[in-house]
Structure 1
Amino acid sequence: MTSEHFTKIANDAVASLCAHYPDTATMLGDHSHDDQLSDPSAAAGQRRADELRSLIARLDELPADQLDTADAVDRDILRTASESELLSLTDLDEASWNPMVHNPGQALYALLTRDFAPLPERLSGVAGRLRAVPDYLEAARGRLSGMSAIHVQTAIGQFEGTLALIEGEIPAAIAETGGSPDLSQEISRAAAAVREHQDWLRAELAGAQRPARLGNDLYASKLELVLATPWQPKLLLEQAYRDLDRVESELADLVGQTTGSANPDRAAIAAEFNRLAADAPTSETILQLCREAMAETTDFVRKHDLLTLHDDPVEIIEMPEIDRGVAVAYCVAVGVLETAPLATQFAVSPTPKDWSEDQVRSFYREYNNHMLHNLTIHEGMPGHVAQLSHNQRYQGANPIRGVFGSDSFIEGWAVYAEELMATLKYRGEISAEAAAAVRMQQLKMQLRAILNTIMDVSFHSGDLDQREAMELMMTRGYQEEGEATGKWRRVQLSSTQLSCYYVGYLEVLQLVADLRQAHPSWSDRQLHDTMLSFGSPPVRYLRQLLGLPPAA
């Protein structure tokens, strides 16, 4: 009876989450709230916090010895996710100082771009959300105070993307239906509300003095809960600096082999990166190059039998304006509650139209043609696209692992996939030089993941400043100035998210080593398929499901 009881608790928890966050519900595939926006008020936040406290109490009342392993893991995942959200609503209280979390653009965009129903039906949901925009933004202004300047600046820019969506993409979608429904009034009122909100944010900018840093205690609490990891900031930072030295040494060895030079220094490594950076895409070619790289990486995975491939549809799309300014690419999977046959989206961000020639040149030197192959491995094959296709096929007694998938496992798998492909000499069939170029970019990306963690920890629980961060990224990370500048911005805009790549990689790498030791006869495909067969739980729980002891 305990399993049935937990299943009810889990299903109730997911239903409550979807009711409180309608945009999240849409992305998960629950379309019963598609005409609604969430309530950003402090009172709604308090009600949600009370719900979470009640949920945690119900979970704690379950007798652990009467749950099977799968239910016990799902109970722990749900409890950790609930504690994490509760921290965000209470001690962190991000909704009171970060205006980026109060942008309705993504909620509207999801209805336009995800073909889960005929367009007229989805436009009905768009109409409801447009009508809700003025009250939503008014409530958000009532919640926001003591904001962070960099979050205000970024929010103002991202609301430009929301305006373009409301005044451009929504009317274009209506035109596809022959002009029905007529949402001209809803569009006009929503656009006016967005402009009013932008004006308010501009007026508040001068007084936005809140530090972007979380501070050591809040950061440590968030790291533990969001990443579901036993790593503590101090020990994580020490490990990251050790790996920084290790990867730089590997880079020096590779450059020595490819250039025939003995003991190359950082200048020689930088010179080799500069040579590779000259082979660069443009805004007109970047999407097609990623599509070609996707086909090539898929063929390589199939030839080397690295894991089972599922023939799920994938779209490589241009990143919408509302999402730009934080990351260069992302992968959006089909929601675990979705019943319509949708495609996974791999979004890539070309350069903004208002960038200078120097900014564009710097961007495409960083994301050169060799780096695009590594990026496609991470976002596509055998990274996110492959892992998430396996995730879609996990069928548990409840939806917890799909709804609360672990970012550190998902990103850790993708970083591990980069290393796996590079060490197997991906592109070696083209030439040894092409394989070495991808390996160079993979090591550079590994440096980036390590530096992301160093900066994330050192900024939010220390005193890292821009000068130190830029020096780290450009000297020890070999990054272009534009990339480093954007990453410094991202360090300030987010917390713990930048650490999930490195933390996840450490945990996945140890898991692979332990699984190989426990099952030495397993092929790569058997090992990887087994790892991916349990959904996307945090690695600490995946070890439990695999019958492995906790990591040392």
Structure 2
Amino acid sequence: MTNRPTPSLLALAALISLGASSSAFAADATPAAPAASAPKPVRGVIKVEPNIAADAADLDADTRFQRLANDYIEALWKLDPDAAIAAGRYEFADRLPAPDRANRAQALAFSEQWLKRFEAVDGKTLSAASRTDLGQLLNKLRSDRFALTELRQFEWDPSGVNVAGPLDYILATDYAPLPVRLKVISARLAQVPAYYKAGASLLKQPTLEHTQLAIDQAPGVLSVLDEIAKAAQGPDAASLTAAERKQLLDRVAAARVAVDAYKAQLVKLLAAGKATGKARSFRLGQALYEKKFGFDIQSSHSAEQMYQRALKAREALLTQMADISDKLWTQTLGDAPKPEDRFARIGAVIGKLSEQHVKRADFVKEIRAQIPELERFITAHDLLTQDASKPLIVRETPVYQRGVAGAGIEAPGPYRPQDRTYYNVTPLDDLTPEQAESTLREYNRWILQILNIHEAVPGHYTQLVHANKSPSLVKTLFGNGAMVEGWAVYGERMMLESGYGDNAPEMWLMWGKWNLRSVTNTILDYSVHVLGMTEAQALDLLQRQAFQTEREAREKWRRVQLTSVQLTSYFSGYSDIMELREQRKQALGASFKLKDFHEQFLSYGNAPVPVIAELMAQPKGTP
């Protein structure tokens, strides 16, 4: 799972699925630093000088469109500085978006205005590259409108009101000297009380689950504020004047009061919701779910059709896993009687093998040690070009991001590809011995390797490094989650097909269990949000039928209550990539080379798989 926010007017709604959250609409503020300190863009959609007085009619259709796209992106950063920060642009970082009604009205008007302009573009006059850029922009703007007018997550998800993410990025990113960044942070902090007041005013019957999440994340927000205060008093901030430092610390204190007050208000809302039974359900329902699925996944299939496909894929996986388990039975369980029920049979073998895992204290250390091994395998088997100048840093997940997923990649935006990429891993320190053992069995000797393939090499980390090199800024910025997650799932199977794990049946069985997780994610998400699956039914699906430990199953139940549609992205993207690979094999015949397929596929940024398929099918030399 990726943790870097995708730039969007709907960051407030989207980031809940990532474990961190922030709102998304701008408010005017006094600049905290001179304009010269702001980073200049290092790339754009197209290199067109803004002061050239050429008549637009004299430009070709592609150039006119790319100018329009560039104008939209630059206007978006002014409206939505949180999204700009996520992309690596810090010119407007001193402005804290205030999620009030006026700014939401402004955001809706902005989306409607730009939607009309892009809908007026004749896609038939554009090259394939520009035409698919146009499709991405139209989808983004329609998705923004849907979230503002129909989904309205800002009314029922209090966890969207959270200042931690952008503050952490500003503090941790060396786009300017620390004293300059602290001045920017100080300006943001001055707006925090009004920000929380505005966010609270929009809440209408928030769900119990999202309210509890916001309460649970409050200490993490406070920890970011503590880090700011510490930095302000450190030696690297010595050039701040005494007045500037005092002002910053006073604003940190005021922000802490605002966070605590918001948390206290949520505690009351939670109690009232439980007492009255009038809290909104976390379930989206079919109408909203189908629409959200269409915008988020961008598949040629509906949500219901993808659910049906997942059911078929599940059956094929279980058949394969049952066969491997039969072959491993005596080796793992000796003379123990073999159950007739295939779930019991598969589960018994997996359970015995899962006893082989790292020690609790070595969990993060082992993940860190495996990354170079994966990189060496990729190089030795010539599967993909890797960029040694973009090292991956494995670290413990920042406190404010904890609560939804245990591991994830936090990658830099396309404007600052040189910045660090973090592999956030939540340590097991705070778990009871029983909880820790459950987690370690879930991420056993084999699955821990598959996790690292998914999250790091050649999964999310590798894919996002390539995405930042794409010539299409549109496809990189406004990418498709199903492609991103699908590539990570595809990487798991591709590595094993290429010989990783020495073709051991234990590795293939555990891959089956892990891949079954992606398939089950789709079944679970649709069943819960559309079909009304209960907690007991969900836990049975996850534990008995998908062989997940109790702790893992309960965490997934929590996640499906806090997110929607995102869990379907893994299977949807994976199945589309596998289908595309087979199509390219048939089209190219003997000239097909796996490395070439991978590098061409990744060259299109974060575009949806159907868009990539269209672009890969273009004759060489076609723009």
Cα distance per residue 1:177-216 (max 9 Å; x no partner): 2564622211111111100000000011133410101110
* Residues 36 and 128 in structure 1, CA contact (< 8 A), matched pair in contact too: yes
Whole-angstrom distance in 1 between the partners of 2:215 and 2:150: 26
Matched, 1:358 2:434: yes
* Residues 409 and 537 in structure 1, CA contact (< 8 A), matched pair in contact too: yes
Structure 1 SS opposite 2:361: coil
1:375 alignment partner in structure 2: 451
2:560 alignment partner in structure 1: 491
1:476 alignment partner in structure 2: 545
Structure 2 SS opposite 1:317: strand
* Residues 154 and 325 in structure 1, CA contact (< 8 A), matched pair in contact too: yes
* Residues 112 and 173 in structure 1, CA contact (< 8 A), matched pair in contact too: no
Whole-angstrom distance in 1 between the partners of 2:174 and 2:264: 34
Structure 2 SS opposite 1:401: helix
Matched to 1:217, the amino acid is A
Deviates more, 1:263-272 or 1:49-58: 263-272
Cα distance per residue 1:263-285 (max 9 Å; x no partner): 88322322222223223335532
Deviates more, 1:193-202 or 1:286-295: 286-295
Matched to 2:146, the amino acid is L
2:187 alignment partner in structure 1: 128
* Residues 105 and 159 in structure 1, CA contact (< 8 A), matched pair in contact too: no
Whole-angstrom distance in 2 between the partners of 1:81 and 1:200: 33
Whole-angstrom distance in 1 between the partners of 2:116 and 2:614: 24
2:12 alignment partner in structure 1: none
Structure 2 SS opposite 1:393: coil
Matched, 1:288 2:362: no
Matched, 1:342 2:419: yes
The 1:425–1:17 alpha-carbon spacing in structure 2 relative to 1, beyond 3 Å, is same
Cα distance per residue 1:49-103 (max 9 Å; x no partner): 1111111111111122211111100000010011111111110000111111111
Matched to 2:566, the amino acid is Q
1:201 alignment partner in structure 2: 266
1:213 alignment partner in structure 2: 283
Whole-angstrom distance in 2 between the partners of 1:85 and 1:287: 38
Larger radius of gyration: 2
1:421 alignment partner in structure 2: 495
1:535 alignment partner in structure 2: 605
Structure 2 SS opposite 1:369: coil
Cα distance per residue 1:385-409 (max 9 Å; x no partner): 111121121123xx21111011110
Correspondent of 1:385 among 461, 465, 468: 461
Whole-angstrom distance in 2 between the partners of 1:352 and 1:138: 35
2:348 alignment partner in structure 1: 271
Mind listing any 5+ residue stretches in structure 1 that lack a counterpart? none
Whole-angstrom distance in 2 between the partners of 1:334 and 1:167: 23
The correspondence of residues 47-66 of structure 1 with structure 2, limited to 5 A, is 47-66=106-125
The 1:151–1:128 alpha-carbon spacing in structure 2 relative to 1, beyond 3 Å, is same
Correspondent of 1:82 among 138, 141, 144: 141
2:335 alignment partner in structure 1: none
Matched, 1:503 2:581: no
Whole-angstrom distance in 2 between the partners of 1:531 and 1:188: 49
Whole-angstrom distance in 1 between the partners of 2:506 and 2:233: 46
The 1:278–1:47 alpha-carbon spacing in structure 2 relative to 1, beyond 3 Å, is same
Normalising by structure 2, we get a TM-score of 0.83
Tell me the CA shift for residue 324 of structure 1: 1.1
* Residues 213 and 459 in structure 1, CA contact (< 8 A), matched pair in contact too: yes
Correspondent of 2:471 among 367, 383, 395: 395
* Residues 328 and 349 in structure 2, CA contact (< 8 A), matched pair in contact too: no
Whole-angstrom distance in 1 between the partners of 2:315 and 2:209: 32
* Residues 88 and 416 in structure 2, CA contact (< 8 A), matched pair in contact too: yes
* Residues 382 and 417 in structure 1, CA contact (< 8 A), matched pair in contact too: yes
Whole-angstrom distance in 1 between the partners of 2:577 and 2:609: 7
Tell me the CA shift for residue 508 of structure 1: 0.9
The correspondence of residues 123-202 of structure 1 with structure 2, limited to 5 A, is 123-168=182-227, 170-172=229-231, 174-177=233-236, 180=240, 182=245, 183-202=248-267
2:85 alignment partner in structure 1: 26
Tell me the CA shift for residue 19 of structure 1: 2.5
Whole-angstrom distance in 2 between the partners of 1:172 and 1:255: 54
* Residues 316 and 346 in structure 1, CA contact (< 8 A), matched pair in contact too: yes
2:478 alignment partner in structure 1: 404
Correspondent of 2:399 among 311, 315, 321: 321
1:449 alignment partner in structure 2: 518
Mind listing any 5+ residue stretches in structure 2 that lack a counterpart? 1-58, 274-278, 332-337
1:5 alignment partner in structure 2: 64
Structure 2 SS opposite 1:394: coil
Correspondent of 1:519 among 585, 588, 594: 588
* Residues 470 and 604 in structure 2, CA contact (< 8 A), matched pair in contact too: yes
Tell me the CA shift for residue 533 of structure 1: 1.5
Structure 1 SS opposite 2:151: coil
Structure 2 SS opposite 1:145: coil
Matched to 2:64, the amino acid is H
* Residues 470 and 488 in structure 1, CA contact (< 8 A), matched pair in contact too: yes
* Residues 276 and 370 in structure 1, CA contact (< 8 A), matched pair in contact too: no
Structure 2 SS opposite 1:345: strand
Size of the alignment, in residue pairs?
A: 540
Matched to 1:454, the amino acid is I
Structure 2 SS opposite 1:476: coil
Structure 2 SS opposite 1:373: helix
Whole-angstrom distance in 2 between the partners of 1:441 and 1:380: 18
Deviates more, 1:260-269 or 1:311-320: 260-269
Whole-angstrom distance in 1 between the partners of 2:210 and 2:359: 29
Matched to 2:530, the amino acid is S
- Percent of pairs with identical residues: 30
Cα distance per residue 1:296-329 (max 9 Å; x no partner): 1111111111111221221111111111111111
Deviates more, 1:265-274 or 1:410-419: 265-274
Whole-angstrom distance in 2 between the partners of 1:111 and 1:422: 39
Whole-angstrom distance in 2 between the partners of 1:466 and 1:22: 39
Matched to 2:421, the amino acid is T
Structure 1 SS opposite 2:91: coil
Tell me the CA shift for residue 152 of structure 1: 0.1
* Residues 322 and 342 in structure 2, CA contact (< 8 A), matched pair in contact too: yes
* Residues 123 and 134 in structure 2, CA contact (< 8 A), matched pair in contact too: no
The 1:519–1:275 alpha-carbon spacing in structure 2 relative to 1, beyond 3 Å, is same
Structure 1 SS opposite 2:394: strand
* Residues 231 and 237 in structure 2, CA contact (< 8 A), matched pair in contact too: no
Normalising by structure 1, we get a TM-score of 0.94
